[in-house]
Amino acid sequence: MRIAVLVPDPDYPEEWRWAYDVEADALASAGAEVEPIPWTAVPADVSSFDLILPLVVWGYHLDYPRWLELLDRAQAERWPMLNPPALLRWSSDKAYLTELADLGVPTVPTLAAEACCDADLEEARRRFESDWLVIKPPVSASATGTHRLGPNDDLPDDSRGRPMIIQPLIEEIAKTGEFSLMLFDGELSHAVVKQPAPGDFRVQPHLGGVTMPAHATPVAERLAKRALAAAPAHATYARVDIVPDDSGVLRIMELELIEPALFLDHAPDGGAAFTRAIMSALETVREEPLADR
């Protein structure tokens, strides 16, 4: 079987092999021939691939229209893509957090601003009863465009007049970190905790954050499954980021359904559950195109 894993554009500045290699090795151990293909240079004919996995499409947020065009093509040409294009499209815009909240899923409180301005910050501070805020673009990754704002901070120029999501700053992240639960075919595989560098609130490794194995509590597992159940399509692979708020209530920070680092190096089974889910989907796609699911 041949599997294409979509990876960053050659000009993408961050190191990505650490995420790709462990996933590709897990698939190769099941007998797959794995080929990395830049998501910005997918060939016209992909019919030789049994599955297409956008597992490392890092940088899609930097050329969002091109990413949406790729998803449109995948759906029109009925690619055997996991996760399916409709789910990837929904997950690309973090405004989905407001949808989850409307469905009763505990999420980090989120205000979506179409053209962010000072009045939006004032509304967020009033609504969240918090002087400290975090703002980020709704289409983003690697903490790009993310800012922490105190009570007297002005709206940054790169955020003004742009679509942004606004959330209260959760101080607990600096103390306990952000928990990531990996689920394959909806079942928990393993978990990690990501902690920011001292004085920071962002947990990404390139910003000094550290990642360690963690135990997922039954409450966290139930929350992750509840959030996935509210998504518009089945997720073969998912990373659910959960944080405790300052009152200790667990809340969804993000559903990473596109290109999440899955931290298979921390999986007790070495990634076997990941591989089983992908192979199971391969059997399914032979019976029912994923574009129809």
Domains of the chain listed by start with CATH number: 2-86+271-292 (3.40.50), 96-106+172-261 (3.30.470.20), 111-168 (3.30.1490)
Q: What is the DSSP letter of 87?
A: H
**Strand, helix or coil for residue 40:** helix
Contact present, 59 and 29 (Cβ < 8 Å)? no
- pLDDT of residue 189 exceeding 80, the answer is yes
Confidence bin at 211 (pLDDT 50/70/90) = confident
Quickly tell me which residue has 């920070």 as its tokens. 253
**Which residues on neighbouring strands pair with residue 214, listed in sequence order?**
191
Distance CA(140)–CA(121), nearest Å, equals: 19
List of residues 6+ apart from 12 with CB closer than 8 A: 58, 59
Distance CA(147)–CA(27), nearest Å, equals: 37
Query: What pLDDT, on a 0 to 100 scale, did the predictor assign at position 205?
Result: 62
What are φ and ψ of residue 211, in 5° steps?
-120, 135
Confidence bin at 287 (pLDDT 50/70/90) = low
pTM of the model as a whole: 0.90
Distance CA(279)–CA(269), nearest Å, equals: 16
